[in-house]
Amino acid sequence: MVETLLPSRFQSHLQKLDPKRRLLTSTIASHKTLLFAFLWIAAFASVFLWQRPSYIGGYVVGPVAGGRFTVFGKVKPLQPVPRLRPAVFDLKEFGGVGDGVAVNTEAFERAVVEISKLGGGGGGQLNVPPGRWLTAPFNLTSHMTLFLAEDCEILGVEDEKFWPLMPPLPSYGYGRERPGPRYGSLIHGQNLKDVVITGHNGTINGQGQSWWKKHQRRLLNNTRGPLVQIMWSSDIVIANVTLRDSPFWTLHPYDCKNVTIRNVTILAPVTGAPNTDGIDPDSCEDMVIEDCYISTGDDAIAIKSGWDQFGIAYGRPSTNILIRNLIVRSVISAGVSIGSEMSGGISNVTIENLLIWNSRRGVRIKTAQGRGGYIKNITYKNVTLDNVRVGIVIKTDYNEHADDNYDRKAYPTLSGFSFSGIHGQGVRVPVRIHGSEQIPVRNVTFRDMSVGLTYKKKHIFQCSFVKGRVIGSIFPRPCENFDVYDEEGRLVKPATESTVPDIDYDI
């Protein structure tokens, strides 16, 4: 599948085009206009693809002008690097060599030490110039900007012996995949303040292929490391970069406050790249994720807050999170997930202006007995589903536990879910909400929903142990568990108890 890396173009599309008008707009367009548009796009695309390397399955196939973008054979000049901090350094000043062969770990470490000496007086900026900069994992420091120039690519070394081992996360108790220590991230920071990773869309590449193969063959004794992990930190900005081929989760902010992630492209093969989540906010507070394009081998976004008894004891929720203007794809899992590790609680999350395409699931909430905690006050607005098997999922039996010592009586509470402006086409099952007697799903609201279906089973709205309401007319028709109100707030049809439908879990 050719990956088009044009997130800003799609953002404009999401913000300006009313999803309900797309079909009407395409219908009234004249045949001549459509033919002209098709020919023009085809001609432009042929020039663009001829000038660019091919991206097939997320991988560059052929070089063009040393990796530089060209227009009709002329090399586009590189953008000048802005000065964002009082002190500015270049990685080459510390012995860096960007040939893709020399290992630059010491150069990065020396540069970070130099910036750490500056203290809080505005900090320092480390420019990574065009080139391929191979490195083992390294740490960031406070009051630092890591600037990735155009045509810059930081490459993670593939041999795991160069990746340090770290203690398990306190809210997980174990490595997420294996007991004991876990591998650290390629770019790491903890107990920091005022950190920026930005650039002219330079790339951080984890070269995760060898990690994925070893994991699948069970050759690793420890949990794989993320690509970028920032822990116990505040005032973090990650913007205008590409993150790709992470060994494990791609971007993992852990117990952080005041985090902004903007205009970031995150890529991994959609199959064969296990657990390469895009962004995993974990016990984070006051966070914005916006204007991003994510296509990975697992959830594009997964909001978390700890695992079973360890997350309950750690007690740090994820709260006040805004996710907007995203295009996401997940063939294996979901576009945006909440859980299943949510034992510290998750609340006050708004997800708006979201396009999910060619995915197994659209948005998903997952939890289980033993998690404890809560998921509440979650709002979804203006969500478009394009060729998605199951649109909206709430699942309460995701029984994957850290160990067998979890509290069987620790039932999570789920309440306060609002879905409005949900539109799309090519959806097999629009809604599947599967609560249980011990974990009912309460206060679910649907409004302004119209989803084109491809699956003609009887129960296209699949519900059990759920209570909620529908405001106005929606399509498809909801299950009997919902009160139906008109737009003026008058009760039209009260909810009735219904039998639990047969659920096709293979969808």
Domain assignment present for residue 14? The answer is no
Rounded Cα distance, 85 and 146, in Å: 10
Q: How many domains does the chain have?
A: 1
Do 135 and 104 form a contact (C-beta atoms < 8 A)?
Answer: yes
Of 98, 121, 124, the closest CA to residue 111 belongs to 124
CA dihedral 147, 150, 156, 158 (to 10 degrees): 180
- Residue 78's CB is within 10 A of a number of other CB atoms, namely 15
pLDDT of the residue at 455: 67
Planar angle of CA 242, 7, 327, nearest 5 degrees: 100
Cβ burial of 39 (10 Å; 0-12, 13-18, 19+) is exposed
Cβ distance 395 to 423 under 8 Å? Answer: no
Residue 41 lies in a domain: no
Which CATH number do you get for residue 377? 2.160.20.10
Beta strands, E only, 184-281 = 187-190, 193-199, 203-205, 228-231, 234-239, 242-244, 251-254, 257-262, 265-267
Rg of the chain over all Cα atoms, to the nearest angstrom: 24
For residue 118, the 8-state DSSP code is T
Domain that holds residue 364: 88-493
Pairing of strands 285-296, 257-262: parallel
DSSP states along 144-182: EEEEE-TTEEEEE-S-GGGSPEEPPPTTTSS-SSSSS-E
**451 in a structural domain:** yes
Give the Cβ contact number of residue 490 at 10 Å. Answer: 8
pLDDT at res. 475: 84
Question: Cα separation of 36 and 411, whole Å?
Answer: 59
Known catalytic residues are: 298
Q: Is residue 77 part of a domain?
A: no
Sheet with 228-231, edge to edge strand ranges: 138-139, 187-190, 228-231, 251-254
Which amino acid makes up residue 217? R
Residue whose pair of structure tokens reads 């155009």 in the numeric block: 150
pLDDT at residue 373, rounded to an integer: 98
Structure tokens at 367: 């939890």
Q: Is 44 within a domain?
A: no
Q: Which amino acid is at 18?
A: D
Tell me if 470 sits within 8 A of 480, measured CB to CB.
no
Q: What is the DSSP string of 396-422?
A: S-----SSTTS-TT---EEEEEEEEEE
What is the rounded CA–CA span in Å between residue 426 and residue 299?
20
Q: What is the pLDDT along the chain (507 residues), one digit of tens a residue?
A: 334 444 443 444 444 333 433 333 343 333 334 443 443 444 334 333 333 333 323 333 333 333 444 444 556 678 899 999 999 999 999 999 999 999 999 999 999 999 999 987 899 999 999 999 999 999 999 999 999 999 999 999 999 999 999 999 999 999 999 999 999 999 999 999 999 999 999 999 999 999 999 999 999 999 999 999 999 999 999 999 999 999 999 999 999 999 999 999 999 999 999 999 999 999 999 999 999 999 999 999 999 999 999 999 999 999 999 999 999 999 999 999 999 999 999 999 999 999 999 999 999 999 999 999 999 999 999 999 999 999 999 999 999 998 999 999 999 999 999 999 999 999 999 999 999 999 999 999 999 999 988 766 655 788 999 999 999 988 888 888 899 999 988 999 998 865 444 444 444
502 belongs to a structural domain: no
Is 463 domain-assigned? yes
Instruction: Say how many C-beta atoms besides its own lie within 10 A of residue 267's C-beta.
Output: 28
Distance separating alpha carbons of residues 483 and 495, to the nearest angstrom: 4
Q: Is residue 46 part of a domain?
A: no
